[in-house]
Amino acid sequence: MSIRHAGKSGVNGPSGPGGVLLLDAPEVVEALPDGLVPARFYFADLEVDIPTPWAFLPSPGRDQYLVFEWNVRGARPVDAPPILLPNPMTPANFPYRAQIPQAFLLSSAIVDLKYRVHNLTPISPSFDDSDVRTIRIDRDAPGAGALLPPAIFPIDPITEAYLIANPQVAMEIPDGYLGREVGDKILLYFSDLNLLPTGVPTLVSLPLASASGRIFVDVPSDVFRLYPGALFLFCFYRLEDRAGNVNPLFSQVARVGLQTSLPPVTYPRPSYPQAATNARGVMTCDNQPPIWQGVEVFVAAHADIRDGDLVTMRFQGYGQSPDVNPDPSLVETLTHFWDGVADASGYSFWIRDVERVIRPLKNNAGGGATYMVSRAGVDIGLSATRYVQFDREVNSSQPDPIYCWIDGNGPEP
């Protein structure tokens, strides 16, 4: 049975049971004021300060051991490995920094943490006890374990008139996700492509002020103007809690039509040089180079495209030539800073993501390319759209159509 060494703690802390004074509670260095330890500190030993000295410190012939008691609520207390304190110690050594092994941080828990100072050996019944510091280890990301439903756009389509009337567009996030808490944040990702994001979020919401009720995130209208000419806008989101845990999966995608303002049409249409190598002017496997190697979109030089201008080319695939049934997944956006010398005769954009963007354009499909010119961050002009037919069907008389591609002619799903 452990026995407190009464009288050794008389200069520290509040009274414990039986009138024995307790040492001051440990201070977890990285804990927030309410005791939550941010998740980024779970991957190394936990830094803990012993704030103040006790009455009789280690001295020659008198070793002392520091033992942290890790008391997870609902479980039996566990001692961390004992730490032999420096000998001698003086008040100048305080606050004294120690570590609790990272292995104690592997699970979410509310922990009542305290320490004991044992004399002579780490199991000596003669020890001083500290007051308790309550901390929280949170390794559970909000929304984990379930597929997050898509965000909700306020209207469809998002028009320029709506953006003018609403400088802040309120996106709604379904509120029934698991583990919702005050302080959660919404990480929003916007794109003109229906592809999982790979970069940083477009916008991070303010911390949620409530753990229940509907969730709205105000998105500046300028975000929707980042994609001029796009027919659709896509939104994914993830969730981050106050500890910094982020759910690993993106939400289901939300899609909205987009009708934002564009600069005036002041530039000639781009062209498809490969189409000129086909007698019908159609994009097929007979083009040179074949379209499975890439599709070229050529922008001719123009007196009002200057050195350093940003040229943004957007390609949109259509289910039926020339511009019927736009497919939201068949979009490619490429950019190029104009070089007045190298681009004196024009510049060729190459669509290389052919498996995603080009191969689905099988039979009497369409593609449309346009480009926009920006100078010093200001959009100054737009080209008209150049449409071209895509047709890879080589034998329509068979029960299963045959299509051309890099690996030869054959049926496709």
pLDDT tens for 236-251 read 999 999 999 999 999 9
CB 389 within 8 A of CB 322: yes
**Can you tell me which residue has the tokens 């920094």?**
97
Alpha-carbon torsion, ordered 57, 58, 60, 63, to 10 deg: 150
User: What pLDDT sits at residue 21?
Assistant: 55
- Confidence band for 279, pLDDT divided at 50, 70 and 90: confident
Which residues partner with 318 through β-bridges?
A: 326, 366
CA 367 – CA 274 distance, rounded (Å): 13
Task: For the chain, list the domains and their CATH numbers.
Answer: 3-137 (2.60.40), 158-259 (2.60.40), 265-403 (2.60.40.10)
pLDDT tens for 107-144 read 999 999 999 999 999 999 989 999 999 999 999 999 98
DSSP string across 122-191: TT-SEEEEBPPEEEEE----TTTTSPPPPPB-SSSSEEHHHHHH-SEEEEEE-S--TT--TT-EEEEEEE
CA 31 – CA 37 distance, rounded (Å): 4
3-state DSSP assignment of residue 52: coil
**Summary mean pLDDT of the chain:** 92
User: What pLDDT sits at residue 350?
Assistant: 98
CB 283 within 8 A of CB 291: yes
**Residue 81 pLDDT > 80, yes or no?**
yes
User: What pLDDT sits at residue 94?
Assistant: 97
pLDDT tens for 382-399 read 999 999 999 999 876 667
Q: pTM of the prediction?
A: 0.81
- Tell me the helix, strand and coil percentages in the chain, rounded to 5: 10, 40, 50
User: What pLDDT sits at residue 175?
Assistant: 92
pLDDT tens for 40-70 read 999 999 999 999 999 999 999 899 999 999 9
**Residue 230 pLDDT > 70, yes or no?**
yes
User: What pLDDT sits at residue 229?
Assistant: 87
**Residue 4 pLDDT > 50, yes or no?**
no
User: What pLDDT sits at residue 18?
Assistant: 44
pLDDT tens for 142-189 read 998 889 999 999 999 999 999 999 999 999 999 989 999 999 999 999
Q: Are strands 126-129 and 109-119 parallel, antiparallel or unpaired?
A: antiparallel
User: What pLDDT sits at residue 17?
Assistant: 45
CA 363 – CA 318 distance, rounded (Å): 11
Considering only CA atoms, which of 340, 348, 390 is closest in space to residue 365?
390
Return the percentage of the chain with pLDDT > 70, whole number: 94
- Confidence band for 1, pLDDT divided at 50, 70 and 90: very low
**Residue 351 pLDDT > 90, yes or no?**
yes
CA 5 – CA 191 distance, rounded (Å): 66
Angstrom distances, CA of residue 75 to CA of 42, 50, 78, 111, 370: 20, 25, 9, 10, 65
- Confidence band for 306, pLDDT divided at 50, 70 and 90: very high
**Residue 78 pLDDT > 50, yes or no?**
yes
pLDDT tens for 189-220 read 999 999 999 999 999 999 999 999 999 999 99
User: What pLDDT sits at residue 2?
Assistant: 35
